Each structure stands twice: as C-alpha cells, then as structure tokens.
A = this chain, B = another copy of it.
Amino acid sequence: MADKRTPSADPRRAPNIEDVARLAGVSTATVSRSLNSSGRVREATRKIVETAARELGYTPNFGGQALASNRTNTVGAIIPTMENAIFARAIQALQETLAEHKVTLLVATSQYRPDREEAQIRTLLARGVDGVVLIGNRRAPSAYALLNARGIPFVLLWSAPANSPFVTIGFDNFGAAHDLTTRILEKGHRRIGMISGLTADNDRAFDRVQGVSQALADHGLSLSPHDLVECRYSLKAGENAAMQLLGATQRPTAIICGNDVLAAGALRAARASGLTVPDDMSVIGFDDIELATAVFPPLATVRVPHRRMGVAAGEHLLRWMVQGERPPSLTLPTEFVERASLGVAK
C-alpha cells in the first residue's frame, strides 16, 4: 500500500490544492486566493496558478470548500410538483439565473403536502444550502421556524400577501381571479361554476376562489357551494369536477378553473357531454402554459409571470446571500389572455 505521506502516491487520487501549490511553486493560500479571486494576488502569480491547476485538472473538493468557508453555493427549491409545466419553467429560469453566479440548484417536490414540504426543508438544510425557495406563503409556523433557526435566506414565490413578514416574489392571485371573473360577467355570464385546486394548504388556490367570490359579490351574485368543486390538479380530476357541475339542474354557462390543466379536463367533459365550447359553455383557465393553446378551443386564461418569478427569486437570493442584505418583496403583474374558449353568454 502506498505511503500516505508520499505526495501523489496514488495516481488515481484527485489532485488537491496542495498539488497545485507545489506545481505552481506557491502556498496553498495563494492558490485559494487566485482561484477565488478573493484577496489580492499579483496577476503573474494568478496566471501561474491557473496554468498549474489546468494542467493537473484540478477541481476544488466540494466538502473541503464547504467545510472551510461554511458556504455550499447551493440553493434549494421546493415546488409542489415538476409535472406542472408552470413550476418546471419557473425552476428552469431560477436555475439559469443561479448558474450565472456559479450557484447550483437542488430541487425537491412536496406533492402539495405540507408534511413532505417540511421534510424537504429539513433535507435541504442538512444539505447545507445557502438559500431556499418555496412556493406560496401559507405553511406551519414550524416550517418557518426551521428556516429562521438557521438564519438562512429564503424567498416565497407565487403569492404577494400585503404585509408578509417574509420576502415574497409573486403576483396577486386574488386580483387576477377577480379581474378574470369580471370579464366573464361582462360577457353576460351569470351562472358561473368554479373548479379549484384543493384550498386547504394552498393559499394561491384559496385566494383565487376568494377573488372569484368577491367579483361575483360585486355584481350581486354569489358562488354557492354547489358551484364550487375542489379537486387535485389533474386532467382527470378536472374532467370529473366539470361533469359534476354539468350535472346540476341549472348548469353553469361558464366554468372558471384553478389552472389550465383543470380547464383542459373541463373541455373534455364538455365534449363528452355533447356541449360545444364556447357556444354552449365557456371555460377559463389559469397559468397560460403551452397546454392552453394545444387544446381546442384554445383556453382563455391568465398569464402568470413564471419566468420572471424564477429570475427574480435567483437575483434576490443571490443578493441576500452575498451582500447579506435582505431584499424587498416584489409583486409582478398578470395579464388576462382572451381566447376562443370564452364566449358571450347565450
């Protein structure tokens, strides 16, 4: 067996900072400074070090770096699911933003379950992430306690509560839902049904229901329990929910859906029921993912700033992590997208 004290005894062993220092004829401190552009190093020295590092194929050992610097240059994000394109796209934007600053992203999913989310927060913290991104703002105090105990930077995406004690980067779910409902009412619809995601642990879904309710109330209408169905965010669930609404004695002339996937399900239900959209009934989605224009008729929906949220989350977090100053919250605009699935009421 090779003598441990003999340098480069094992050729398979990855080169370490000492190997680089030796080859460059400098100290390990100088190598570290050169490669991290921290502290001053003469340009000529840096060149020499870089050459040596390249020659050896040196990559800093992650564990050593993390241990010594107490930073991992890693950010963790927990989203409900990767299967909804809206989150996938936001995550992609986040990752690209972080990558520009040599920070990598650890992604975990909660399946919309608070207990899983909290477990994932624990995992990420154990992984030593330097920052965390979460979706929504409603969760158990214990979850926030975990984050706060470490004093770790974290931002909440997808909602924009008025006086949050946390940094939020999102949009006004209530307002967007209120707005779209108003537009539907302007088309003459009066019997309106809604298919929502499960609101229990989902403030976005909850706020959207509230926005619809309020808009109806503003017009002297109301969203009765019969007109509202909650279900999982899946095509099949949306279809079933729509079937239920369509089975009512007075079926709605317009169905507002918590997202585009549910709306696609509602379209399928309409077709199965022999109803034509929008002539017999209108269907409205939320998110404006690609699916919205893949179905027929294309879905009227609300464009959610997923990409901008992802980018902003990355920028805010980086600022916070590096400069140590807590960034402000940010509210982004949404836009109603009118398409053929919304027609005038007959």
Interface residues of A (CB under 8 A from B): 12, 14, 57, 59-68, 70, 72, 74, 81-83, 85, 88-89, 91-92, 95, 99, 104-109, 122-123, 125-128, 149-151, 234-235, 261, 264-265, 267-268, 271, 290-291, 293-296
Extra pairs beyond A83-B290, A107-B107 (10, CB < 8 Å): A61-B67, A62-B63, A63-B128, A81-B92, A82-B89, A82-B91, A83-B89, A88-B88, A95-B109, A295-B296
Asked if residues B57 and A66 are in contact (CB atoms below 8 Å), the reply is: no
Give bound CA distance, A68 to B85, whole Å.
39
Instruction: Give the one of A82, A92, A293 with max B CB within 10 A.
Output: A82
Asked if residues A59 and B290 are in contact (CB atoms below 8 Å), the reply is: no
Known A-B contacts A12-B151, A294-B264; A92 and B63 likewise in contact (beta carbons under 8 Å): no
Known A-B contacts A63-B67, A72-B63, A128-B63; A92 and B83 likewise in contact (beta carbons under 8 Å): yes
Known A-B contacts A82-B92, A291-B294, A293-B235; A62 and B57 likewise in contact (beta carbons under 8 Å): no
Asked if residues A83 and B72 are in contact (CB atoms below 8 Å), the reply is: no
Known A-B contacts A67-B63, A72-B62, A128-B62; A235 and B95 likewise in contact (beta carbons under 8 Å): no
Known A-B contacts A95-B109, A150-B14; A126 and B59 likewise in contact (beta carbons under 8 Å): yes
Give bound CA distance, A291 to B235, whole Å.
9
Determine the residue in chain B with the shortest Cβ distance to A122. Answer: B59
